Amino acid sequence: MRYLFVVLALLFSACAASDNSTTLEKDIPYYPQAIRDSNDYINSRARLDVYCPESEAPLPVIVWFHAGGIRGGEKHLPDALVDRGACVVSPNYRLSPKVKSPAYIEDAAAAVAWIFNNIADYGGDPLLIFLSGHSAGGYLSSMLTMDKRWLEAHDIDANDVAGLIPMSGHTITHFTVREERGLPGETPVIDELAPIYYVRAVAPPILLITGDRDKELLGRYEENAYFMRMMKVAGHDDTRIVELKGQDHSMTEPAFPLLLDEVERVVALRRGLPETAE
């Protein structure tokens, strides 16, 4: 019996050590209390999850916005990004048609502002925050990086984002925004709610990832390719695109290693380290 107690004590100690080796907190509200008290939908939806593995030094941070056409989806921490040497933060945001644009962009900006202001408390490096996401999430991460007014509302310069890595995200105005205006999805629009509207020379490094142009949603590869071309024309020398041949719009699994490689590349550049050979 004494031996059993010793074994159980050791197991408990091991579990406790494991619990202390990482930080995982869920459903953290990212709006101030007064705003949450005034809006039940914000209070229930505007929350995020934070995961940070144990590290002696501050870790780069990957912000992962979920997909769902801005009409569905839930925050989640992708398994492929967990325990890969970075903190991962996944926010929810309000959805159409319950709200209309730009409410969901405002939510995304508020979430990123919270991350800039608080991630150091969890072991993340606020100087190494990368914005990413799939489809609608890619659109939101691109809007926050390219249209500087959203983060400026929180006294944050979008150029302080370490890198933008959208997966199959719109660079034109999102089809849900167009639908809210009564336009069909086949009608392309480039206006103030399109990331490509804000091409500029000075911006964070950008890696665009899409599925195969022949398997993607309507024009998703082509609009990303056009965005890349216009960024280069504007003088931005660190915009690249990867087309995942044979992959359709659901292309996140083969794209996650590319995201992690890009984070590693930019971190090495920021810290003056030699880049890892591919």
Please report whether residue 4 resides in a domain.
Answer: no
Task: Give the model's pLDDT for residue 185.
Answer: 87
CATH code for the domain of 112: 3.40.50.1820
What are the residues facing 221 on neighbouring strands?
Answer: none
Q: How far is CA 272 from the centre of its chain?
A: 24
Task: Give the model's pLDDT for residue 47.
Answer: 98
Number of domains, the chain: 1
Using the CB atoms, write b or e for 54-89: b if 16+ within 10 Å: eeeebbbbbbbbbbbbbeebebebbebbeebebbbb
Tokens 């769902």 belong to residue: 68
Please report whether residue 186 resides in a domain.
Answer: yes
Structure tokens at 260: 């992690």
3-state helix, strand, coil in the chain (%, to 5): 40, 20, 40
Please report whether residue 226 resides in a domain.
Answer: yes
Structure tokens at 33: 């209390």
Q: How far is CA 18 from the centre of its chain?
A: 27
Please report whether residue 72 resides in a domain.
Answer: yes
Q: The pTM is what?
A: 0.91
HSE value, Cβ hemisphere, 13 Å, CA-based, for 146: 32
Task: Give the model's pLDDT for residue 277.
Answer: 45
Rounded distance, CA 176 to CA 153, Å?
24
Task: Give the model's pLDDT for residue 271.
Answer: 86
Task: Give the model's pLDDT for residue 196.
Answer: 98
- Could you read off the pLDDT of 130-165 as tens digits, one per residue? 999 999 999 999 999 999 999 999 999 999 999 999
- Could you read off the pLDDT of 10-23 as tens digits, one per residue? 333 333 333 446 89
- Could you read off the pLDDT of 30-83 as tens digits, one per residue? 999 999 999 999 999 999 999 999 999 999 999 999 999 999 999 999 999 999
Cis peptide before 195 (omega within 30 of 0): no
The pLDDT of 263-276, averaged and rounded, is 86
Task: Give the model's pLDDT for residue 13.
Answer: 35
The pLDDT of 115-129, averaged and rounded, is 98
Rounded distance, CA 93 to CA 34, Å?
18
Using the CB atoms, write b or e for 179-193: b if 16+ within 10 Å: beeeeeeeeeeeeeb
The helix (H) or strand (E) run that includes residue 219 is none
The pLDDT of 163-185, averaged and rounded, is 97
Q: List the Cα angle 221/224/230 in 5-degree steps.
A: 140
Task: Give the model's pLDDT for residue 259.
Answer: 98
What are the residues facing 244 on neighbouring strands?
Answer: 211
Task: Answer yes or no: is pLDDT of 101 > 50.
Answer: yes
Please report whether residue 143 resides in a domain.
Answer: yes
The pLDDT of 100-110, averaged and rounded, is 98
Using the CB atoms, write b or e for 247-278: b if 16+ within 10 Å: bebebbeebbeebbebbbbbbeeeeeeeeeee
Task: Give the model's pLDDT for residue 276.
Answer: 53
Q: For residue 41, what are the contacts with CB-CB under 8 A and spacing of at least 6? A: 94, 98, 99
Please report whether residue 100 resides in a domain.
Answer: yes
Please report whether residue 190 resides in a domain.
Answer: yes
By DSSP bridging, strand 22-29 and strand 47-53 are antiparallel
User: Phi/psi at 216 (nearest 5 deg)?
Assistant: -75, 170
Confidence grade of residue 272 (pLDDT, cut at 50, 70, 90): confident
- Could you read off the pLDDT of 192-249 as tens digits, one per residue? 999 999 999 999 999 999 999 999 999 999 999 999 999 999 999 999 999 999 999 9
What is the three-class DSSP state of 253? helix
Task: Give the model's pLDDT for residue 3.
Answer: 35
By DSSP bridging, strand 47-53 and strand 163-167 are unpaired
Comparing CA positions, the residue from 114, 116, 115, 112 lying closest to residue 142 is: 112
Domain of 65 in residue numbering reads as: 25-270
Please report whether residue 13 resides in a domain.
Answer: no
